[in-house]
Structures are given as C-alpha cells and as structure tokens.
Amino acid sequence: MHLQINQLCFFLLSLYLGLMRLPNELRKGRLLTAKSRICYNETMKTNFTIGVFAVIFDEQKRVLLCHRRDYDLWNFPGGGLSINEAPWEGVIREVKEETGLDVRVVRLAGIYSKKNSTDIVFSFLCQVVGGEMTLTDEADRIEYFSSENMPKNTSPKHVERIKDILEAKDETLIMKTQEGQSSIELAKQGKL
C-alpha cells in the first residue's frame, strides 16, 4: 500500500509542478494562443533536480547524520536521484553508498521545494534492516543525535525536516517550501 501511495504522491507532485509552470491562460482553462503554446513547450523542458534523503531514527528516537568529507557539515544520508531510478530506490542506494547500512523505506515523510529553485527533495522515513555502519568517501563520521543535541554545523533545512517529522501527527505527509541559503553556501561563508 505504501508503494502505491508514494507513486501517487510522486505523480501528483509532478502534475502540480508542471501545472504551476504553465501559462496563465492554460491554468485558467482558456484556449492556448500561439504565444502560450511556445511558452508551454519551453516550460515543460525545465529540468528539476530531485534529492532523496533518509530520516533514520534509532530506538531512542535519535536521528542518523553523516558528516561530509567535502564540507564541515552534518546532514541526512542521501543525495541526487539517478536517471531511471524511482525515488524510494534512490534513497536506499544513497544510504548504502554513504553509510554501509541497508534500509527499507517505511514511508514518504515529506516533499520539499526550495524557493526560487528547481530543487525538489523527498524525505523518506527509513528503518535499518542490515549492513554495517562504515565510513565512506562521502562521510568521515556517521552518528546518531537527539533532536535537542544536534551539531551546530547541521544543515538547517535538515534540522527543519527533523522537527517537521517529529511534530507531524500520525503519518502526515509534509509538503513545504523551504527558504534560505543552501547549507553549502552557509558553510562556505563560515555561518555554520
């Protein structure tokens, strides 16, 4: 059942994003003019960057974070979705690559967009089912942290997503636009 819900959410998100980028005439049900047809064709070619990240809690409700090797920054295990890969497959692959852990997707927890960006992020609640925590070429530290004791240099958007999940009732799907600079930009500026 969860797979069908995830597929439905992915379809609805794709439809929503496409519809919001259509010319006003089409969104309002008006006939397309030649000019709006050109606009429609061009907007449908826009490329989106899709990120997939795992939110993994242990028995004490601590969340798993990875410390990046390329920046002094803690974040969820995850990354960019590969071509021809389903989001739930991508997050499983990313967790394995970054941590050595095998996970199963419990559910889609959130869909996030970033203001003035074509980035879309899927946050999946995942459960460890095997593997061994291993440092990789992407992560030089992997640890569990309580939500009250997060490292100061944790991605602010990831901290927000943790709070969203902990505050959500039942299995509420969070759909939210996040604002602010990227964590990498903040790290480069010494603000994290």
Task: Residue 57: give its domain's CATH number.
Answer: 3.90.79.10
Residues 42 and 63 in one domain: no
Residues 69 and 42 in one domain: no
Q: Compute CA distances 79 → 49, 51, 59, 63, 69, whole Å.
A: 10, 5, 25, 17, 14
Find the mean pLDDT for residues 59-86. Answer: 94
CA distance 34 to 15: 23
Would you state the pLDDT for residue 170? 78
Residues 168 and 144 in one domain: yes
Helices (H), 28-168: 34-43, 87-99, 156-167
Would you state the pLDDT for residue 35? 42
Residues 1 and 82 in one domain: no
* Segment among 31-45, 159-173, 176-190 with least mean pLDDT: 31-45
Residues 62 and 92 in one domain: yes
Would you state the pLDDT for residue 131? 97
Inter-residue contact 76 to 98 (CB < 8 Å) = no
Residues 93 and 163 in one domain: yes
pLDDT tens for 114-130 read 887 888 999 999 999 99
Find the distance separating the first CA and the last CA of the chain, reported in whole Å: 40
Residues 28 and 69 in one domain: no
Using 50, 70 and 90 to split pLDDT, how confident is the model at 72?
A: very high
Residues 153 and 179 in one domain: yes
Residues 131 and 118 in one domain: yes
Asked if the model's pLDDT at residue 150 lies above 50, the reply is: yes
Find the mean pLDDT for residues 36-65. Answer: 77
Would you state the pLDDT for residue 46? 64
Residues 90 and 20 in one domain: no
CA distance 18 to 22: 7
Residue in the structure block whose two tokens are 């992560």? 139
- Higher pLDDT: 80 or 116? It is 80
Residue where one domain finishes, among candidates 46, 63, 83: 46
Would you state the pLDDT for residue 141? 97
Residues 42 and 121 in one domain: no
Would you state the pLDDT for residue 25? 41
pTM across the whole model: 0.76
Q: How many domains does the chain have?
A: 2
Closest CA to 23 of 38, 9, 11: 38
Using 50, 70 and 90 to split pLDDT, how confident is the model at 37?
A: very low
Residues 81 and 142 in one domain: yes
Give the structural domain span for 153: 47-188
